[in-house]
A and B are shown apart, each in its own frame.
Chain A
């Protein structure tokens, strides 16, 4: 199959037609920034963008994605390495604890801000509900999203 990931075409041979995108990214393309957490669409650690929409890569077959634009955490920064404003906000707010959920969180937040430049607190909370953080970094995720969106923090 031919997959377009982060603007580049990749020819991939997999054993099984139903291999989820998650495992093609991690095992075949070596893009391990997209994480495995539950495998059933319940944790969001595996979140990527498919045509700009946040999606659980564990729950979609890679073979169904030919001709679609896939973006992973590795494709978010500019070619010269300049961080995406969402990534920068995440680093500045020092969001991560263990950090394992954070690439999925960042991908979900980025998709949100593409749709809603200035989301309300409630819109942020609802949009981010698909990604869990076991370490409980939600307070800082909110701050980082607000920073990236250029909105001031609620008291």
Chain B
């Protein structure tokens, strides 16, 4: 990284001297992004505007800095809505024994040497950061205690800590961390292995409800998001690509567009042959966003579509319906003797399908790029800022330390911002100017140029034996490939997928159909659809067996055990059973319901989380579905921030419902048919059920919660619709199957 180890993020990364910086922050009424950092206390929204880096600061590691003025904790990873800017620092503060009110949180710079991987995705943040963050806090605490012991000339074992203070109980003396910072800074930093971590029973902060550190700036509309970036002399850009992915510019009326009012420049970009980076297109750069958007209406491009996507939803679906009659050529798993068991048992078959969907993160894709002094400086709301940095360096031939990426809050990610195509576009456009350029996608760009969650089809046949237990399971999964025989992202299926480990005669085969439009990770990739298919089909089998689904699921799980002994991220049937029972009990499973009402239950294990959900649904004569309430049982180990955890569960459930009710992107001639939210409906408040989240605080290592509460929702609701109506739901969105 170019910027040094100066912990003051503001001065170091902007390459400006202090006077220039102050001048810059004075621009536009102080509404500039750079100056905004936030305190935890709602009363002091920006107390940590810029802590001067001081030689006497106690900064034993990359996360903690204490001076006479205060305690700062650096949040390493991008905040895209899962609360890590609050929960990560809480983990540090816990081991540090800092009073949360005393802590100021600052978003860290991108610095792989100091922080390792800085990214958001895969619900991997908390599990990966848990130990390093605890150690960072514990090391700092250890040194503060040592400093107090030296000052008082007592043994460190006589001292305790509480609320940012070291206490010598024997004499009643106390010293605050701020008073000790200077002396602690002179002590050697101990090896992390020599420092004792708290026992979980000693946690004071973790597990409490703590409000987000950005709550005050969020509710006052302060600039926090990538799209809010403002810089002196800022230009505004839009980038127009071929609506069928991969089309190239044959010709365009560039000269006419250049003459339009407010337009500064317009030009064709070639693209670099990588749809995850730079596709060919026409850039329009203007004095404000509206001038750029308006100029698009005048732009006329003749596209060469010879290499562009020709994808068609209607023809791939027709093909899938044919394929469903056979098995796939690729065998994923073949345990036992499925055909024998099918012949002997009571058979059930179902054809399941789900549409492609869009990420629809509410903040459109955007990046601000400023080429100056041999540095490409970026303000990007991205889930993978480090990958953005290396991609940009390659793209425009710079060293990585000549690319500075500021981590901006992102208005939702859901996997979309793992791909930095908008960053590449902004950089190549901005490289032509000596002024900063903000590239903002229109919603239509986000809808059309998404990396979609792939649709898919499953032809399932299963059987139950005379005891009412599953005796056979056969699934032909029909999905897509971009070529090379590999499934698209979200189109693969593991041999160990639930309920495989519980069924003796188990076969999965696969067929891949060609598909050019890019697919990408979408909240809980794979699981978000497989859970629907498999957990609904399990319910078909329990129904065929005439068994109660709760009893059936618990019997399926069997004795408490790890499915992969020694792997604490594997499914544990004891944990599964506990959350299934919890959700069922809290939802009142088994109670009598009026006509047209039903309860549905589903369990799913993903991202190492054990989660069960019960949906209570009413359906009227017009097939209008109302989800009244969803009850969730969760085991993700310890809870870091109860408020954040509950919010993630509620949000994932509502996201799952929003998606299953009416979301689909269809393609013809390689073009997405849905262009904006009038054709792609996000759930609105009147249809939002109450969501009750119940947590089992277990002793296992912590696992992430940004994704795993989504997969069980669709099967829980679909099973509830069956309970209410006797009709199976085998197609998502359910609006495609006639449900309203």
The reply on B222 being an interface residue by CB < 8 A is: yes
Stretch from B151-159, B359-367, B384-392 at the A interface: B359-367
Are A98 and B222 within 8 A (Cβ)? no
**A69–B66 CA distance with the chains assembled, in angstroms:** 46
0/1 string, A80-111, CB within 8 A of B gives 1: 01010001101110101111111100100000
Are B688 and A36 within 8 A (Cβ)? no
Within 8 A of A (CB), among B212-242: 212, 214-216, 218-225, 227-228, 230, 236
Task: Please pick, from B31, B82, B83, B220, the residue contacting A30 in the complex, using a CB distance under 8 A.
Answer: B31
The reply on B247 being an interface residue by CB < 8 A is: no
Size bin of chain B's contact surface: 35 or more
Stretch from B405-413, B548-556, B728-736 at the A interface: B405-413
Query: A138 to chain B: which residues have CB within 8 Å?
Result: 654, 683, 685, 688
Q: How far is the CB of A84 from chain B (nearest CB, A)?
A: 9
The reply on B55 being an interface residue by CB < 8 A is: no
The reply on A1 being an interface residue by CB < 8 A is: no
Q: How far is the CB of A140 from chain B (nearest CB, A)?
A: 7
Are A129 and B684 within 8 A (Cβ)? yes
The reply on B51 being an interface residue by CB < 8 A is: no
Q: Contacts A98-B362, A98-B411, A140-B647: A19 and B290 contacting too (C-beta < 8 A)? A: yes
Query: A32 to chain B: which residues have CB within 8 Å?
Result: 31, 221, 223, 227-228, 230
Are A72 and B221 within 8 A (Cβ)? yes
**A91–B83 CA distance with the chains assembled, in angstroms:** 14
Query: A81 to chain B: which residues have CB within 8 Å?
Result: 45
Query: A77 to chain B: which residues have CB within 8 Å?
Result: 220
Are A140 and B650 within 8 A (Cβ)? yes
Are B364 and A37 within 8 A (Cβ)? yes
The residue of chain B having its C-beta at the shortest distance from the C-beta of A100 within the complex is B411
Q: Which of A37, A72, A92 has the most CB of B within 10 A?
A: A37
The reply on A38 being an interface residue by CB < 8 A is: yes
Are A135 and B651 within 8 A (Cβ)? yes
The reply on A137 being an interface residue by CB < 8 A is: yes
The reply on B294 being an interface residue by CB < 8 A is: yes
Are A142 and B211 within 8 A (Cβ)? no
Task: Please pick, from A30, A39, A45, A133, the residue contacting B230 in the complex, using a CB distance under 8 A.
Answer: A30
The reply on B510 being an interface residue by CB < 8 A is: no
Query: B442 to chain A: which residues have CB within 8 Å?
Result: 39
The reply on A68 being an interface residue by CB < 8 A is: no
Are A23 and B288 within 8 A (Cβ)? yes
Are A36 and B364 within 8 A (Cβ)? yes
Q: How far is the CB of B9 from chain A (nearest CB, A)?
A: 20
The reply on B653 being an interface residue by CB < 8 A is: yes
Q: Contacts A40-B677, A94-B647, A140-B647: A30 and B28 contacting too (C-beta < 8 A)? A: yes
Task: Please pick, from A94, A128, A134, A139, the residue contacting B360 in the complex, using a CB distance under 8 A.
Answer: A134
Q: Which of A101, A135, A141 has the most CB of B within 10 A?
A: A135
Query: B364 to chain A: which residues have CB within 8 Å?
Result: 36-37
Besides A102-B218, A139-B654, A142-B685, 8 more A-B contacts (Cβ < 8 Å) are: A16-B294, A23-B290, A37-B677, A38-B677, A39-B676, A96-B218, A134-B360, A137-B651
Query: A131 to chain B: which residues have CB within 8 Å?
Result: 685
Are B220 and A76 within 8 A (Cβ)? yes
0/1 string, B273-299, CB within 8 A of A gives 1: 000000000000011111101100000
Are B676 and A90 within 8 A (Cβ)? no
Q: How far is the CB of B453 from chain A (nearest CB, A)?
A: 14
Q: Contacts A27-B289, A101-B362, A136-B651: A33 and B222 contacting too (C-beta < 8 A)? A: yes
The reply on B198 being an interface residue by CB < 8 A is: no
Q: Which of B82, B262, B364 has the most CB of A within 10 A?
A: B364
Q: Which of B31, B442, B688 has the most CB of A within 10 A?
A: B688
The residue of chain A having its C-beta at the shortest distance from the C-beta of B651 within the complex is A136
State the majority secondary structure of interface residues on A. loop
0/1 string, B671-709, CB within 8 A of A gives 1: 000001110001111101011000000000000000000
Q: Contacts A38-B443, A129-B686: A134 and B361 contacting too (C-beta < 8 A)? A: yes
Are A74 and B362 within 8 A (Cβ)? no
The reply on A35 being an interface residue by CB < 8 A is: yes
The reply on A125 being an interface residue by CB < 8 A is: yes
Query: A39 to chain B: which residues have CB within 8 Å?
Result: 293, 442-443, 676
Are A98 and B221 within 8 A (Cβ)? no
The reply on B590 being an interface residue by CB < 8 A is: no
Are B215 and A73 within 8 A (Cβ)? no
Are A98 and B654 within 8 A (Cβ)? no
Query: B290 to chain A: which residues have CB within 8 Å?
Result: 14-16, 19-20, 23, 27
Within 8 A of A (CB), among B408-424: 409-413
Q: How far is the CB of A82 from chain B (nearest CB, A)?
A: 10
Query: A50 to chain B: which residues have CB within 8 Å?
Result: none
10 cross-chain pairs, A with B, having the tightest CB-CB distances, nearest first:
A33-B221, A100-B411, A136-B654, A98-B81, A73-B221, A15-B262, A138-B688, A42-B677, A136-B651, A30-B28
**A101–B80 CA distance with the chains assembled, in angstroms:** 13
**A88–B45 CA distance with the chains assembled, in angstroms:** 13
Query: B651 to chain A: which residues have CB within 8 Å?
Result: 97, 135-137
Task: Please pick, from A14, A26, A139, the residue contacting B691 in the complex, using a CB distance under 8 A.
Answer: A139
**A23–B677 CA distance with the chains assembled, in angstroms:** 20
Query: B682 to chain A: which residues have CB within 8 Å?
Result: 43, 132, 134
